[in-house]
Structure 1
Amino acid sequence: MEELQRLVDLCRPLYTRGQAASYIPALADKDPSLFFVHIIDEHGKSFSSGDVTEKFTLQSISKVISFIYVCEEHGLDEVLKHVDVEPTGDSFNSIIRLENTYLGKPFNPLINAGAITVSSLLVGNTKEQQLVGLYNFISKMTGVETTINEEVYQSEIVTADRNRAIAYYLKSNEVLVGDVEVALDNYFRQCSIEVDARCLAKIGLILSNDGVDPLTNEYFFSKKIAKVAKALMLTCGMYNASGKFATFVGIPAKSGVSGAVLSIANPESMEGLSGKIGIATFGPAIDEIGNSVTSIAFLKKISEQYDLSIF
C-alpha cells in the first residue's frame, strides 16, 4: 500500500499549520507532529501508519456515538423531540441559536448544546448506570474495554463555564432532561473516553455498514439511525467548516479537538481495500476551527485519489 503511505508522508509535515488544543490543558501537551492513520474494510483488510495503538480522547467524536446509542435505546422519533438535525454554520459552543429558536431546541446533536441534551437522555436510573450503558455499547463495537482519561476529564470540568451556561439555558427551556449536573458530567466523561485508531476505525466500519459489523454480522443499531448519523456527519461533523469539507472531500466525517477524525467511505478500490470502510486519523495539531490539519489534508487527498466523494 505504497500510495497510501506516500500520501501520509506528504501530509505529515503540514502539522506546522496548526497547534494542539490549548483551551483544554490536558490536550495541550500532545506532540503536534504526531499523525496516525488506520483504515479497515468490510473484508477485514486494513492499512496502518504510525503508532495506531497510542490512545487519544474522542472529544466531539463521542457526540455522534452517544446520539446513535440514545436513538437505539429510545427510538429516533423520541430523540428528535429534543434535538434537531439542521446545520448551523456557527462554532460548536455557540449559544446564539438557542436564544433565536422557539423553545431553544438545539439545531443538531453534534454541537455542544445538542450533545449535552443527548447526554441527558442516556438510559439508566443513576449516573453510573447511564455511563455503563454507553461504555458497554462502545466496548462491544470495538472489542476493547472502554476507559476514560482522568486528566482530560478533570480538564473538561475546570474549563466548562460556557457548557454549564448552555446546559442551564436548555434546562430552563425544558429541553434538557433530568439533572443538569448529571447531564454535564456524562458529557465531560464521554468526551474523555480513550480509544486508539484501530478502535475508532472499527466504529466507522460498523457505521459505514449501517449498524452491522460486516466481519461478525453482529447488529448494533438500525439502518435508519445510521442513515441519520451519516447525514449529520456530512452536514455538521466538521464544526463550522462542514460545508467546505463536504464540498472538497465529500464523505461523512466527525472531528474532535483532540485531533482525531472518524470518517467512512465506500471505495471501489483503494490499494486492496474495497467496499464499506472505516477511517480513523489522529493529528493533534488543529486549525482555528478545531479540525486536525494533517487529517483534513490526508482525507482530501485520498478522496481525490480514490474518488471517495459521494457527489
Structure 2
Amino acid sequence: MQNILNDIILSNKKCTANGKVASYIPELKNANIDDLGICVIDKDNNIYCAGDYKKKFTIQSISKPIILAMALMDNEWHHVFSKVGMEPSGDPFNSIMKLETNDTKKPCNPMINAGAIVTTALIKGKNLQEKEERMLSFFRKLAKNNSLEINKSIYESEKLTGDRNRAMGYLLKNDGFIEGDVEETLDLYFKQCSIEVDVVDLARIGLLFSNYGIDIETGERVISENISRMVKTFMVTCGMYDASGEFALRVGIPAKSGVGGGIMASVPRKMGIGVFGPALDEKGNSIGGLNILEDLSNKLELNIF
C-alpha cells in the first residue's frame, strides 16, 4: 500500500499546475498550489500516508456530511427532510437560483450551501456557544483528535465575504426552512467550514462512515447504521458538487470535497481516505485529489458499483 500511495502522489504532482486555489474566500488564496497528500486507514487500523500529508487546511464543505449526521441525530429524519431535499441539484454548490424557481423552494440536498445552512440550523443547543461546543466536540470525536480547532482567520474571512451565503440564509428564513436567528445559524456555518484538519483526520472520519458508524478501535457505536448509510448515499449522489455523476462513474466511492482542497472518501467495510490538494478545477474539486482517487480505485478495485 505504501508504495502504491508514493507512486500515485508522484505521478499526479504535475496536474496541480492545471488548477487554481480558491480565491473567493481571501484567506484561502494563501494555499500552496503544489501541495498534494493522502492518508489511507484500512479496516485493520493500518495507517498509510504519502506526500504533503502533514499540511493543515480548513475542512470547508467536507463538514456538510458530518453536520447532516449530527442534524439527523438531533431530529427525526422526516423533520430534517421536510426542510431539505434528497436530490442532486445539477447546479454549482453556491447556486441560489432554485431557492426561487423550484416548486417547493426547498434546498435540493444537504451537500450544497443552501441545504447545509438548513442542516446547521437544526443543530440543538440553547445558544450559539453551546451549539459550537457540541459541534466541535462531535468533529473531534469522529476524527479521534481532541486538538481540532476553528481557524479564526479563515472564519473571519468567510464571515466578512459571505454575502451570498447570507442571502441564502435570509431567503430560507423567509420561506420557513430556518427557525430561530439567521445570523446565529450563519455564524455556526462559517465556523464549521473553518475547522482545521489534515488528511489523517479526514481518513479517520471516512473510516467511521465506512464501518457504518462503529469505531473500529473501541467497538463504540458513534453514529447509527441508518444515518451512516444515508450520509454515504448523499456523498455518492451529491458529494462532489455538480461533478458527482462523473466521479461516480470514474471512481465509484462515496466522497465529499471542499474548496480548501480536501476530499474525504469512505469505502464501505474497507477504508477511509483523506486527500489534500488545493489546486481546484472549475467545479471546485481538487484536481490532484480526483486523479489520486481514480488511480487508487482502479489499482485496488474499490469501485462500489
Q: Classify the TM-score, shorter chain.
A: over 0.9
8 Å CA contact 1:37–1:197 kept in 2: the answer is yes
SS at match of 1:102: coil
Per-residue CA deviation, residues 185-221 of structure 1 (Å, 9 max, x unaligned), is 0100000001111111100000011111112111111
SS at match of 2:49: strand
> Could you tell me which residue of structure 1 aligns to residue 72 of structure 2?
71
8 Å CA contact 1:38–1:279 kept in 2: the answer is yes
The offset of 1:100, in angstroms, is 2.0
> Following the alignment from structure 2 to structure 1, what is the Cα–Cα distance between the partners of residues 179 and 167?
15
Q: Out of 76-85 and 8-17, give the one that drifted further.
A: 76-85
> Following the alignment from structure 1 to structure 2, what is the Cα–Cα distance between the partners of residues 103 and 110?
18
1:310 and 2:267 aligned: no
1:287 and 2:292 aligned: no
> Could you tell me which residue of structure 1 aligns to residue 149 of structure 2?
147
8 Å CA contact 1:263–1:278 kept in 2: the answer is yes
Taking the TM superposition and a 5 Å limit, the aligned residue runs for 1:177-192 are: 177-192=179-194
> Could you tell me which residue of structure 1 aligns to residue 228 of structure 2?
226
> Could you tell me which residue of structure 2 aligns to residue 83 of structure 1?
84
Per-residue CA deviation, residues 78-107 of structure 1 (Å, 9 max, x unaligned), is 211111111011000111111122341111
8 Å CA contact 2:202–2:264 kept in 1: the answer is yes
Give 2:205's aligned amino acid: I
- Partner residue of 1:165 out of 164, 167, 175: 167
> Following the alignment from structure 2 to structure 1, what is the Cα–Cα distance between the partners of residues 303 and 52?
27
8 Å CA contact 1:20–1:32 kept in 2: the answer is yes
Give 2:241's aligned amino acid: Y
> Following the alignment from structure 2 to structure 1, what is the Cα–Cα distance between the partners of residues 248 and 58?
24
TM-score for the superposition, normalised by structure 1:
0.95
SS at match of 2:83: coil
1:236 and 2:238 aligned: yes
- Partner residue of 2:203 out of 160, 177, 201: 201
Per-residue CA deviation, residues 234-257 of structure 1 (Å, 9 max, x unaligned), is 110001111110111111000000
Per-residue CA deviation, residues 273-304 of structure 1 (Å, 9 max, x unaligned), is xx520000000100111000000001111111
> Following the alignment from structure 1 to structure 2, what is the Cα–Cα distance between the partners of residues 256 and 45?
25
> Could you tell me which residue of structure 2 aligns to residue 16 of structure 1?
17
8 Å CA contact 2:74–2:122 kept in 1: the answer is no
Structure 1 vs Structure 2 CA RMSD: 1.1
> Could you tell me which residue of structure 1 aligns to residue 29 of structure 2?
28
8 Å CA contact 1:42–1:215 kept in 2: the answer is no
8 Å CA contact 1:34–1:284 kept in 2: the answer is yes
The offset of 1:50, in angstroms, is 2.5
Taking the TM superposition and a 5 Å limit, the aligned residue runs for 1:132-143 are: 132-143=133-144
Give 2:273's aligned amino acid: I
8 Å CA contact 2:144–2:204 kept in 1: the answer is no
1:255 and 2:249 aligned: no
8 Å CA contact 1:122–1:131 kept in 2: the answer is no
SS at match of 2:298: helix
SS at match of 2:228: helix
* Percent identity of paired positions between Structure 1 and Structure 2: 42
> Following the alignment from structure 1 to structure 2, what is the Cα–Cα distance between the partners of residues 86 and 73?
22
> Following the alignment from structure 2 to structure 1, what is the Cα–Cα distance between the partners of residues 298 and 194?
33
Instruction: Extract unaligned runs of 5+ from structure 2.
Output: none
Per-residue CA deviation, residues 66-86 of structure 1 (Å, 9 max, x unaligned), is 010111121322211111111
8 Å CA contact 1:71–1:79 kept in 2: the answer is yes
The offset of 1:143, in angstroms, is 2.4
Taking the TM superposition and a 5 Å limit, the aligned residue runs for 1:83-162 are: 83-145=84-146, 146-162=148-164
> Following the alignment from structure 2 to structure 1, what is the Cα–Cα distance between the partners of residues 206 and 179?
29
Give 1:223's aligned amino acid: E
8 Å CA contact 2:5–2:49 kept in 1: the answer is no
> Following the alignment from structure 1 to structure 2, what is the Cα–Cα distance between the partners of residues 187 and 309?
32
- Aligned residue pairs: how many? 303
SS at match of 1:60: helix
> Following the alignment from structure 1 to structure 2, what is the Cα–Cα distance between the partners of residues 276 and 215?
14
